[in-house]
Structure 1
Amino acid sequence: MMSMSKVIVIMYHFIKSKNDKNAKYFNYLNKDKFYKQIKYLRNNFQILNPNHKEEYFKKSYKNLCWLTFDDGYLDHYNNVLPILEEFNLKGSFFPVIKTINTNTILNVNKIQALVNTVNNKELLNYIQNEFNKKYKFKIDFNLIKKDIILKNKKKRRFDKKYAILIKVLLQKQLDKKFRNSLINLLFKNFIRDNNLNNKNIYMNLKQLKELKSNGHEIGCHFYNHDWLENMTNKELAQEVDISLEYFKNNLNTSLKKVTACYPYGSYNLSVKKYLKKRGVKYALTTNIGHFNSIKMDKLEIPRFDTKDYKKLF
């Protein structure tokens, strides 16, 4: 009979000190709280080395934990790495390739900065007015608010109602071309005199290589941080292929050893089939729950957010 490990996979994003000049723009875990979490996890769980995850999954552990860090934030290099090194622990880091080889700020981060620093009702009214100017027909976003919140409140369980509505509209619901231009317009008009730029939000290639040389896993969060489930087959192939080739050419990573992480937790059967075709064995979702390493699909690995911490332990 095969042994089985029940794995808690924990998802982290921003980890900052209160005096960080960009702290007000983003939802973050305080660095001191992160330290306490890691200390607790180290003392009460077997924390796996993700480069050897298959070996861990073959054994039976009562408490097995996998630390994952999304989006390739500079916080992970400045604040996470020293703490993991102190406890001799390894984690998986998932940068978005576009942030490495261009000076872009991801839409997901622009939206978060807007929601966290601008009155949300004012922001929604602005979006509503721009929508009405763009299209002949009019939609009252307040009338569809309840439906959108109901459909999204589980995955966005830490957001307030207006924040959920704004994020869904700007991340997914509105036409892609329109929402991209609208996000840039909102960012320009509302986020003024800020210090936000690519270099103080995301890690660069040199820092990622240092993480890798220190024994941490660098995984694939794809090129654009976009909704994979909404892509055509051609778009999906291009997104995946460009991403995997980047890992092969710049991080010297065998394609069969690349762990994927779905942006926004977005995937479907077509996405899984193409990843499998390209040799990807493991992919992380934002689905909530423990991972059964024997019974569950390794291309649909669920995770807990760090904010679920109090419920977990």
Structure 2
Amino acid sequence: MTRPELVLLHAPSNYDFRGRPVVYGPISDVIPSTPIFEMYPIGFISIAGYLEKHGIPTRIVNIANRMLREPRFDVERFLSKLHPLAFGIDLHWLPHAQGSLELARIVKRLHPSIPVIFGGFSATYFHQELIQYPQVDFVVRGDSTEEPVLQLMQRIKHGAAVEDVPNLSWKDGSGVAHHNALSWVPSSLDDIPLDYNYPIKSVIKYRSLAGVLPFSNWLDYPITAVFTCRGCTLNCRSCGGSRFSFKEIYNRGEVAYRHPSLLADDIHSIQRYLGGPVFIIGDIRQPGEDYAEKLLGAMKKKRIKVPIVLELFAPAGEAFFREVSRAIPNFNIQMSPESHD
């Protein structure tokens, strides 16, 4: 079995959910997972694919899902057998604050010499607080951390200094925190892979299906997602992904889009290997009507037949829906509840 150099761990929202009752409320109703939030962020797939492409073997382990599906799953015993160069833990959604830090504490107790890396939207916002925790060695900030994580892993692998790794918060030998400039903000997503072949290869390589499943009932409802962009043109007040938020927190001055032909390739790959519904995140009209036309044309040419979920930030006219119906035989529309009005 290949030894991974980076193991990406996804924690439950509350690490102790198996041992004590917790009243969660409706917070998870907008996502397809349970209140344990066992669905890991899609960034795990892009980071793992990017690192694998550059020679860093990477493994995703959905600890939350294994805890949920396997009541007797011994987390500490499992983690004690892993010996990567580094562990990565996401704190993307804020409900994971307790779970992610507790999982990191356990990892650090079991492997005191192996660095623990945090990342995600919430980790970026709270990076100054996170880096003070003894179980956190690094925080990689920003909405696009594939390249910074690669550079960090290369430094860890060769024992090199990390002062020039972009987007990185780190501690020196005296425990003093340093925050490198958040300068890696790509203007295009064309070079960032979203390789859904990776989970299939991972299952074969590491002989574990439960560890890589996105959420508990994914096999019954294998929905996936693709991103049109990172960033947004709108300033919805209640949205953590608004234009203001991306500018102030993630240093993104402009939206980065994925070329429509590449997005169609992503969807075609999902259709070929998985065959489940695909949620296209981001209004395809956001970059302009030309982008939407090119994407729909490319999807029609590739004969996309899997169910497609389109997200709209504002009402669309009859002509748009005619174009969609000509290009996609099976689709539904989701109106964003955080639209500007």
Q: Do they superpose with TM above 0.5?
A: no
TM-score by length of 1: 0.32
Q: 1 or 2 for the larger relative contact order (CA 8 Å, sep ≥6)?
A: 1
TM-score by length of 2: 0.30
Q: Which has the higher helix share?
A: 1
